[in-house]
Amino acid sequence: MPPEDSVRALVERIRAGARVSVLTGAGVSAASGIPTFRGPGGLWRDFRPEELATPEAFARDPLLVWEWYAWRRRLVAAAAPNRAHDVLAAWSRRYRGFALVTQNVDGLHERAGTAGVIRVHGSLWDLACRDRCAAAPARWREEAIELPELPPRCPHCGGLARPGVVWFGEALDPEVLAAADSAADCDVFLAIGTSAVVYPAAALLAQAAAHGALTAEINPEETPASASVDHYLSGRAEEVLDRLERGLTTAAFRV
Ligand code: OAD
């Protein structure tokens, strides 16, 4: 469990009306049974995610890449949001100015009830035309768990469709990046369940600190960010967020 002083400091600031922003990574979905990228169980058929989540991998073998995404869509469809998603959804309803930036593509924050999630890496449930044909929207939603064919086709030009996610080596959507940058202008910034190694998302913590935010990290393992945050709360997201939420909602909790 994290140090009680850190829990109190965060509860005090959040209760005092601070604007809270949160960056999440794969660790928040671990308790829902979704494997993280860099942790144990993050491998699929002996491929590392970094070998599949690239434009080059898709150009080489679109079916292989799509089989990986189809597997992930099935896994997520069978999963449910956990306590970490639920606490953040409660904060999104309760605190004005709350912002949630996620690197996750699973949609579990939305399913828990958080509106306006800033999805910096796109969504497993979006598709896009590989050739960005003029007739197709930039992305479209496809929520059928089993796609009618693999690899799926663009309904507008008949060419290949690709997952509506951001791959290594690709730029983030400028509007989404601008929204994430705005979220870094806050009073309290929490990085939760992310290895904090993938940029530009990992830079948000330093941006928030530059804006004068109190910064905190929730992760059972230390990351490159742990030494620079104001509070490193060692532990699982679902447990530490539950602890914070009990502090925030218990009248008797003394700060
Ligand atoms: P990673 O797999 O790199 O890191 C997951 C982090 O979650 C690790 O630091 C774990 O220690 C931590 N963790 C594990 N279980 C946890 C729990 N129950 N509670 C809290 N933390 C826990 O995942 P990300 O940081 O999300 O990008 O990865 C960033 C990006 O790299 C992903 O969005 C994806 C990936 O390749 C793209 O696909 C572009």
* Whole-number Å distance between alpha carbons of 101 and 178: 11
Q: What is the pLDDT of residues 127-170, one digit of tens each?
A: 999 999 999 999 999 999 999 999 999 999 999 999 999 999 99
Mean pLDDT of the chain: 95
Spell out which residues line ligand 1, taking CB within 6 angstroms: 25-27, 30-31, 36-39, 42, 49, 53, 103, 121, 166, 168, 193-195, 198, 218-221, 223, 236-237
| Residues facing residue 153 across a β-bridge | 160
**Ligand 1 atom, smallest distance to 121 CA:** 39
Question: Could you tell me the pLDDT band of residue 221, with boundaries at 50, 70 and 90?
Answer: very high
Question: Could you tell me the pLDDT band of residue 1, with boundaries at 50, 70 and 90?
Answer: low
Q: What is the pLDDT of residues 100-109, one digit of tens each?
A: 999 999 999 9
CA angle 26, 48, 217 (to 5 degrees): 25
pTM for the model stands at: 0.96
pLDDT at res. 103: 97
Residue 251 has pLDDT above 80, yes or no: no
